[in-house]
Amino acid sequence: MMKGRPITILLVEDDPAHAEIVKRSLSGFRVANRLIHLEDGQAAMDYLEGVGEYGDAGQWPRPDLVLLDLRLPKVDGLEVLRRMKRSPGLQRIPTVVLTTSKADRDLAEAYGNGASSYLAKPVDFQRFASLMETFGFYWLLWNEFPTP
């Protein structure tokens, strides 16, 4: 692999089936990458800010990349994005939106709030598989991440 260090991905996704799809797709990239899955926006914020049960930085490393769904329980994805980009400690973490919505308003707000990329989940296995493969190559192999 081209990377010298493992990449930590935070997946925020309330649908366990969709989380499973992402996990399966990225498991093909057999490096020491780590995928952390959280089910709601509040948990994601707590994790990123290292509060509550996520206080142990050794156990819960700061992610290099966030993969974010938009419709989430408690705090929705756009709000998570907004808070991250306002926080000096979190604003440099690339955040990719992965959702079923292709609504103009969601696209506009996501990019407006600093999303690095916006991907819509295809309703087709081949296309979904192909999308995740491309995602893996791009973000895990080619993309350069800033030093935390």
Rounded to the nearest 5°, which phi and psi values hold at 54? Answer: -100, 25
Q: Which is nearer to another protein, 46 or 64 (CB)?
A: 46
Among 103, 111, 123, 131, smallest CA distance to 22 is for 131
CA distance 74 to 97: 18
Q: Is residue 126 at the binding interface for another protein, with CB under 8 A as the rule?
A: yes
Q: Is residue 37 at the binding interface for another protein, with CB under 8 A as the rule?
A: no
Contact (CB, 8 A) for 116 and 12 = no
Instruction: Single out the segment in contact with another protein by CB under 8 A; choices: 1-9, 15-23, 50-58, 83-91.
Output: 15-23
Q: Which is nearer to another protein, 75 or 93 (CB)?
A: 75
- Residue 1 burial (C-beta neighbours within 10 Å; 0-12, 13-18, 19+): exposed
Contact (CB, 8 A) for 23 and 67 = no
Neighbours of 53 (CB within 10 A): 10
Give the per-residue contact string, 71-110, with another protein (x = CB under 8 A; - = no).
x-xxxx----------------------xxx-x-------
CA distance 27 to 32: 10
Q: Is residue 116 at the binding interface for another protein, with CB under 8 A as the rule?
A: no
Please identify which residue in 33, 39, 77, 115 interacts with another protein, judged by CB under 8 A: 39
Q: Is residue 125 at the binding interface for another protein, with CB under 8 A as the rule?
A: yes
Please identify which residue in 15, 49, 109, 133 interacts with another protein, judged by CB under 8 A: 15
Interacting residues toward another protein by CB under 8 A: 14-18, 20-21, 24, 39-40, 42, 71, 73-76, 99-101, 103, 121-126, 128-129
